[in-house]
């Protein structure tokens, strides 16, 4: 598969003047880019910049209104994903197309266009796993695998079709640093064999480490192309956002005050079927600090959040102390009233009711601390005023307090939910994945609000998989792994490798031996 990389070789993929409109939005406008064989090309942009639409056009999921696609020098049309795969385009989606209850090999078989005999398929998969040194057990059920291992299934699916262009959509958003490093090695090997890679991300240091060329999109247009190895990270970020990057300001004087939330030996059985047991989790969160809880999803994060929010009760009142008061047996409403606010990871359906208006959604949690429903009767005017104030203060882009929660984009809804909780001035705010899927501008705003809340004397606990975020926000960091919480360490004393190892924990060991149950 080694192809000469000379100027005469036509680009593997060349897009010329691609435009695509949806009702009311121009998702892509006059986009041109080209990718050579063996090149790792970054497609950089914020949420809503048009990256996914463009990629869907390349992969045949959507069709361009204008413009041409050429493949190895010839103009082609790509009517369907099947046609894309026939050309040699493979894609690893951000959200994996996997079936949890099935085995790895069944999942791989499902990703193929034609039926392949099981034994033949096994042999081919084994050969690929071997040649790329990917650890993966074909007979394991998917729900027992780590995110990194799941991603490998998707990669193997693509590699089985001997792709000439591999599209990776935000592949590292949920990986540990070690898993990222391993993925990069795999991608470099794939590229060295002549396969072009289109790498979609908004993580600039990764693009600097991996890619040879970058196309930066903003508002559906190409705003720049550059060599990421030469361009500065700050400059690329500004091109991507279209404005000066806001730095988070840590207010001086904030820091360890009195203990506001204290958790002692909290144990909780995981929710079947795939839950993780919490084992004797203990930590303190102090006034004025942000405590980060790192860890790969599925290590007890959702259990910890439901245990703190009061959706599931502790076994004794003393397991959770809020400002010294035992609240372990208080329900969710009582805890909110006492000043412990929680924001779960899932916005639509857990933090907010999708079919309720923003105003109604604000009653749901804020009524405990604000007089929105005195004596059980909804004070409509006060509710609307509160929702409107959240919308203004947190710059939520919406038509008003009457908009349905489901009509907002993920980032805007997250801003509203954070605003709803912060607006109640909680004693302790626990938030899971505060900026998951939120674009850089909104993420910076949310992080700033968290810092400001802590500076006012609240304790903030951030549960996140995003290490960069935790390193930026947290004063102290601990790691949740297999339901056990490590002792907190001051962030200044920690290196990123060290945290990565703590996060990887048993997952990391499982990868080297291939035997440990995740």
Partner 1 sequence: MTSAILISILMTLVAASTPILLAALGELVVEKAGVLNLGVEGMMLTGAVAGFAVAYSSGSTTLGLIAALAAGVATAMIFAVLTLSLTANQVATGLALTIFGIGASSLIGAGFVGRTITRLGPVFPEALAGHPLLRAVFGHDIVVYLSLALVLAVSLFLRKTRPGLVLRAVGENDASAHAIGYPVIAIRYGAIAFGGALAGLGGAYFSLALTPMWADRLTAGRGWIALALVVFAAWRPGRLLLGAYLFGAVMTLELQAKAAGITWLAPELLAMAPYLATIAVLTMMSLGRKTGRLDAPACLGKPFSAS
Could you list the residues that contact partner 1 (CB under 8 A)? Answer: 80-82, 93, 96-102, 106, 109-111, 113, 115, 272-273
> Least distance from C-beta 113 to partner 1, angstroms?
8
Please tell me whether the peptide bond between 273 and the residue prior to it is cis, using omega within 30 degrees of 0.
Answer: yes
User: Residue 31 CA to chain centroid, in angstroms?
Assistant: 26
Nearest distance from C-beta of residue 154 to partner 1, angstroms: 10
Question: Nearest distance from residue 116's CB to partner 1, in Å?
Answer: 9
CB of 170 to partner 1, least distance (A): 15
Q: Least Å distance between CB 290 and partner 1? A: 35
Angle between the N-to-C axes of helices 410-422 and 440-455, in degrees from 0 to 180, rounded to the nearest 10? 10
HEC readout, 91-108: EECCCCCCCCCCEHHHHH
* Closer to partner 1 by Cβ: residue 93 or 132: 93
CA 26 to chain CA centroid, Å, is 25
Three-state secondary-structure class, residue 402: coil
- Reported as type and span, the H/E element at residue 34 is strand 25-35
Shortest distance in whole angstroms from residue 109 CB to partner 1: 6
- Name the residue nearer to partner 1 (CB basis): 353 or 471: 353
CA dihedral of 465, 469, 473, 474, whole degrees rounded to 10:
30
The nearer residue to partner 1, 98 or 263, going by C-beta atoms, is: 98
What sections of 323-439 are H helices per DSSP?
A: 332-338, 358-366, 380-393, 410-422
Cβ atoms < 10 Å from Cβ of 371:
11
> H-helix or E-strand containing 166?
strand 165-169
Degrees (nearest 5) of the Cα angle 440, 350, 315? Answer: 115
To the nearest whole angstrom, how small is the minimum distance from the Cβ of residue 107 to partner 1? 8
Q: How far is the CB of 80 from partner 1 (least distance, A)?
A: 7
Closest separation in Å from C-beta 111 to partner 1: 6
Q: What is the largest CA-CA distance in the chain?
A: 78
> For residues 336 and 174, what is the distance between their CA atoms, to the nearest angstrom?
30
- Sequential DSSP letters for 112-147: -SS---HHHHHHHHHHHHHHTT----TTSBGGGS-H
Which helix (DSSP H) or strand (DSSP E) does residue 392 occupy? helix 380-393
Q: How far apart are the first and last CA of the chain?
A: 36
Q: Beta-carbon neighbour count of residue 230 at 10 Å?
A: 7
Q: How many residues does the chain have?
A: 518
Orientation of helix 177-192 relative to helix 496-513, angle to 10°: 70
Cβ 368 to partner 1 shortest distance, Å? 31
95 or 513, CB closer to partner 1?
A: 95
Identify which of residues 177 and 275 has a Cβ nearer to partner 1 in the complex: 275
Distance (Å, rounded) from C-alpha 518 to C-alpha 511? 10
- Residue 68 or 409 having the CB closest to partner 1: 409
Q: Which is nearer to partner 1, 100 or 279 (CB)?
A: 100
Distance in angstroms (rounded) separating the CA atoms of residues 425 and 278: 29
Paired strand residues for 17? none
Smallest distance from partner 1 to CB 356, Å: 19
Q: Which is nearer to partner 1, 67 or 270 (CB)?
A: 270
Q: Which is nearer to partner 1, 25 or 110 (CB)?
A: 110
| Closer of 84 and 263 to partner 1 (Cβ) | 84
Residue whose CB is less far from partner 1, 81 or 437: 81
Task: Quote the radius of gyration of the chain (alpha carbons, Å).
Answer: 24
Q: How far is the CB of 275 from partner 1 (least distance, A)?
A: 10
The two tokens of residue 452 are: 């400001």
Q: Which residues contact 509 (CB under 8 A, 6 or more apart)?
A: 516
Compare residues 44 and 89 and give the one whose CB is closer to partner 1: 89
């Amino acid at each position: 598969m080694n192809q000469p990389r000379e100027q005469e070789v036509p680009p593997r993929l060349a897009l010329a003047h691609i435009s695509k409109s949806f009702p009311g939005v121009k998702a892509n406008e006059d986009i041109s880019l080209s990718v050579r064989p063996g090149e790792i090309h970054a497609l950089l942009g914020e949420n809503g910049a048009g990256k996914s639409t463009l990629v869907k056009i390349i992969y045949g999921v959507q069709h361009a209104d204008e413009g041409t696609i050429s493949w190895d020098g010839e103009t082609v049309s790509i009517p369907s994903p099947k046609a894309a795969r026939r050309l040699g385009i493979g894609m690893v989606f951000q959200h994996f197309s996997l079936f949890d209850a099935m085995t790895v090999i069944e999942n791989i078989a499902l990703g193929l266009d034609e039926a392949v005999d099981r034994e033949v398929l096994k042999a081919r998969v084994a050969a690929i796993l071997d040649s790329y040194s990917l650890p993966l057990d074909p007979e394991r059920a998917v729900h027992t695998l780590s995110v990194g291992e799941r991603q490998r299934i998707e990669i193997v699916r693509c590699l089985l079709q001997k792709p000439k262009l591999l599209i990776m959509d935000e592949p590292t958003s949920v990986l540990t640093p070690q898993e990222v490093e391993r993925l990069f090695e795999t991608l470099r090997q794939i590229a060295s064999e002549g396969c072009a890679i289109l790498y979609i991300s908004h993580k600039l240091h990764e693009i600097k480490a991996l890619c040879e060329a970058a196309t930066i999109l903003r508002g559906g247009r190409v705003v720049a192309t550059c060599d990421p190895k030469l361009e500065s990270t700050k400059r690329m970020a500004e091109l991507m956002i279209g404005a000066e990057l806001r730095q988070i300001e840590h207010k001086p004087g904030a820091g360890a005050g009195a203990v506001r939330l204290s958790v002692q030996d909290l144990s909780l059985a995981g929710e079947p079927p795939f839950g993780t047991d919490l084992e004797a989790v203990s930590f303190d969160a102090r006034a004025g600090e942000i405590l980060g809880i790192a860890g790969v999803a599925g290590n007890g994060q959702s259990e910890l959040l439901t245990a703190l929010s009061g959706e599931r009760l502790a076994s004794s009142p003393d397991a959770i102390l809020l400002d010294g008061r035992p609240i372990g047996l208080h329900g969710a409403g009582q805890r909110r009233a006492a000043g412990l606010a929680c924001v779960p990871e899932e916005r639509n359906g857990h933090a907010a009711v999708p079919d309720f208006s923003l105003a109604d959604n604000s009653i749901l949690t804020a009524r405990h601390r604000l007089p929105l429903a005195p004596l059980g009767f909804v004070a409509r005017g006060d509710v609307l005023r509160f929702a409107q104030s959240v919308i203004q203060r947190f710059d939520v882009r919406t038509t008003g307090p009457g908009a349905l929660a489901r009509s907002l984009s993920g980032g805007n809804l997250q801003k509203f939910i954070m605003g709803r909780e912060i607006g109640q001035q909680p004693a302790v705010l626990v938030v899971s994945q505060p900026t998951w899927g939120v674009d850089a501008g909104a993420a910076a705003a949310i992080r700033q609000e968290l810092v400001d809340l802590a500076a006012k004397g609240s304790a903030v606990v951030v549960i996140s998989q995003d290490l960069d975020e935790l390193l930026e926000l947290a004063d102290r960091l601990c790691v949740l792994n297999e339901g056990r919480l490590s002792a907190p360490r001051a962030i200044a004393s920690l290196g990123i490798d060290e945290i990565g190892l703590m996060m990887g924990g048993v997952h990391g060991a499982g990868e080297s031996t291939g035997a440990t149950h995740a």
